[in-house]
């Protein structure tokens, strides 16, 4: 039976801080995004591109911060994603409304007033949505409202949705209280002939899989992903992905991947086997799987 790594769901001593920690950089990104919407002249699609860039930056930074406090609890991560999204949305609107009224100069005093009084902020947003602002003169109010609604939906729900999946595939060593890292130098290997790689791993361990996957890794091939605890070097997992490469009419290559199995617990000997097989040496260590 394959033994898979299962996240403990522990919050950790600093994990509960995740929503607060995630909200701070998120608010900063949101503020910059709000200002960019005014400072950058241009059509709607440019605003959409700026929003997308801001969102990608937002989920990256939230991922870092949630991981930095060693939170591996999905609910707390989702709460942090929601807090970050709302903080970014609020900061964007605070900067936007405290800049839109004065042309292109940001008014920090007006921003502080809006920060202290959310009701006033909501009223300012409603006033802008009702009357529009200079840049939207060429567009219908409906378009503008739809765009602002989509923006709110992305920031409020998007961050929440993404942070819930941030730890999928990640491994945490409870003994050393640290995240496992990707092991470098583990190469792709060819697909075994007429055999299911997961069944091979299940019945014969890593040794059987290595024996059945000799030769050049021409597509479709097997990608071996090994994660190891960098401190104790005792916790290791192996994930297998099938990679296909197809070519379209113009000859450009498209790569599609299919995860076969995720984070199966393997031994240090297994990792040694994989590393040795990569160097073209005959595997000689006994697999303990
Ligand atoms: Zn460890």
Name the band, by pLDDT with cuts 50, 70 and 90, for residue 138: low
Q: How far is the CA of 235 from the centre of ligand 1 (A)?
A: 6
Give 58's contacts (C-beta < 8 A, 6+ positions apart). Answer: 26, 29, 30, 84, 85, 88, 155, 159
Q: How far is the CA of 174 from the centre of ligand 1 (A)?
A: 7
C-alpha span between 204 and 198 (Å, rounded): 10
The percent helix, strand, coil of the chain (3-state, each to 5) is 55, 15, 35
Q: How far is the CA of 177 from the centre of ligand 1 (A)?
A: 7
C-alpha span between 289 and 284 (Å, rounded): 15
Q: How far is the CA of 207 from the centre of ligand 1 (A)?
A: 24
The reported pLDDT for the residue numbered 137 is 56
Q: How far is the CA of 27 from the centre of ligand 1 (A)?
A: 34
Q: How far is the CA of 176 from the centre of ligand 1 (A)?
A: 4
C-alpha span between 46 and 32 (Å, rounded): 15
Q: How far is the CA of 6 from the centre of ligand 1 (A)?
A: 15
Domains in the chain: boundaries: 15-168, 173-278
Q: What is the pLDDT of residues 84-119, one digit of tens each?
A: 999 999 999 999 888 876 666 788 888 898 889 989
Predicted TM-score (pTM) of this structure: 0.75
Q: How far is the CA of 252 from the centre of ligand 1 (A)?
A: 42
User: Is the pLDDT confidence value at 35 over 90?
Assistant: no
Name the band, by pLDDT with cuts 50, 70 and 90, for residue 171: very high
Q: What is the pLDDT of residues 190-214, one digit of tens each?
A: 999 888 999 999 999 999 999 999 8
Q: How far is the CA of 209 from the centre of ligand 1 (A)?
A: 26
CB 65 within 8 A of CB 21: yes
Q: How far is the CA of 228 from the centre of ligand 1 (A)?
A: 8
The reported pLDDT for the residue numbered 99 is 83
The reported pLDDT for the residue numbered 102 is 62
Q: Would you put residue 281 in left (φ > 0), alpha (ψ -120 to 50) or beta? A: beta
Burial 205-216 (b: 16+ CB within 10 A, else e): bbbbbbebbeee
Q: What is the pLDDT of residues 43-55, one digit of tens each?
A: 767 778 888 888 9
Q: How far is the CA of 230 from the centre of ligand 1 (A)?
A: 7
């Amino acid at each position: 039976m394959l033994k898979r790594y299962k996240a403990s769901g522990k919050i950790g001593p600093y994990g509960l801080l995740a929503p607060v920690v995630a909200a701070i950089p998120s608010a900063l990104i949101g503020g910059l995004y709000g200002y960019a919407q005014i400072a950058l002249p241009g059509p709607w699609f440019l605003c959409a591109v700026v929003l997308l860039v801001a969102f990608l930056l937002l989920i990256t930074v939230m991922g870092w911060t949630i991981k930095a406090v060693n939170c591996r609890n999905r609910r707390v991560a989702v709460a942090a994603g929601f807090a970050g999204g709302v903080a970014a949305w609020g900061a964007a609107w605070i900067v936007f409304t405290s800049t839109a009224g004065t042309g292109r100069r940001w008014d920090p005093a007006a921003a502080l007033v809006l920060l202290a009084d959310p009701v006033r902020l909501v009223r300012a947003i409603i006033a802008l949505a009702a009357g529009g602002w200079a840049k939207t003169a060429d567009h219908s109010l409906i378009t503008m409202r739809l765009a602002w609604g989509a923006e709110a939906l992305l920031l409020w729900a998007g961050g929440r949705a993404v942070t819930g999946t941030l730890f999928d595939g990640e491994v945490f060593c409870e003994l050393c209280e640290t995240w496992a890292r990707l092991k470098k130098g583990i190469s792709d290997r060819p697909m075994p002939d007429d055999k299911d790689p997961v069944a091979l791993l299940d019945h014969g361990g890593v040794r059987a899989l290595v024996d059945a996957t000799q030769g050049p890794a021409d597509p479709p091939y097997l990608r071996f992903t090994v994660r190891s605890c960098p401190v104790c070097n005792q916790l290791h997992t192996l994930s297998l992905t099938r990679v296909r490469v197809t070519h379209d009419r113009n000859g450009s290559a498209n790569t599609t991947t299919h995860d076969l199995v995720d984070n199966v617990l393997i031994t240090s000997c297994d990792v040694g086997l994989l590393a040795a097989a990569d160097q073209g040496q005959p595997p000689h260590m006994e697999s303990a799987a």
